[in-house]
Amino acid sequence: MQRLQFEPILRSRIVESAEALQRSGVSFATFATARRNPQFWDLTAKGGFQLKAGVTPAQGIRDIFIHGDQYAFECATAMVIVLYKAVLDSILESEFNRIFADMLLYDWHYDSDLKLIQEQGSHKASPGDILYFNNPDVSPETLEWKGENVVKMKEEDSFYGHGIGILPAKGIIDSLNQHRKPGATISAYLTDEVIYPDFAYLSQFAPEENREVERSLHTSYQQEHGQRVHAVIGGRQYIRR
């Protein structure tokens, strides 16, 4: 029951974290021009953010949302940041700091305890899922726009994409199409891949005192989306931008 109740909580937190990152003042940047707050993160040679010694993962993630004007990164890193913040807001902080120690933010690299699951079926995605818009005719001069990782929001046909904003699918596609090569004939499009964290695994780190909140959110989620049960057997998978 705890596992079933935890999924709608974490999904709601993912949507909230996407909205918060949009408001935070962070900027879009390539790996070569990435920026961070040097009090919390070291910048790696590849443009990633390595947590500084003496800083907890919770402190590092929260600072991105507090001092967003000091940060710039690309869209895959943004998705991982959104997921980490959502998990931080859904489980015990002590457990978050323990399982995500030595955090590195870089592209789709993430701690194994986040346990991202990939499946097919973007047409049936739920709020909090991570989707991907591909731009096959991207201009070689703007390869950073070869696609856009997005969070599916609560509103119908609404997505958050770092550097683009919260828009319907057409808005995301129109934005990507502005960065195509001359004579391009193929439009950007939503791919079929869906990514979400392993709710069952992460539920074991949730605090015990949130049972009433969990039950309320779980009932609301079932009414909107129906009962959803899944099982994962074998190794995890992830999508790369």
In a domain, 233, yes or no: no
Per-residue tokens: 33: 């021009």
Torsion of CA 194, 4, 95, 208, to 10 degrees: 160
pLDDT at residue 210 in the model:
52
pLDDT at 211 (0 to 100): 44
Query: In this structure, is residue 130 part of a structural domain?
Result: yes
In a domain, 218, yes or no: no
Residue 234 falls inside a structural domain: no
Q: Is residue 62 part of a domain?
A: yes
pLDDT score for 110:
85
| pLDDT for the residue numbered 217 | 47
Q: How far is CA 148 from CA 10, 43, 95, 136, 185, in A?
A: 22, 23, 31, 11, 19
**Residue pair 60/17 in contact by the 8 Å Cβ criterion:** no
What does the DSSP assignment read for 134-156? E-TTB-GGGGGGSEEEEEE-SST
Note whether residue 238 is domain-resident: no
**Could you give the number of structural domains in the chain?**
1
What pLDDT sits at residue 208? 78
**Separation between Cα atoms, residue 110 and residue 107, nearest integer Å:** 8
Which tokens belong to 165?
């904003």
Residues of the chain with pLDDT under 50: 211-215, 217-219, 221-222, 225, 227-241
Model confidence pTM above 0.75: yes
Q: Report how far apart, in Å, the C-alpha atoms of 154 and of each of 12, 17, 139, 210 are.
A: 8, 12, 32, 22
Closest CA to 74 of 111, 95, 46: 46
By residue range, what is the domain housing residue 91? 6-210
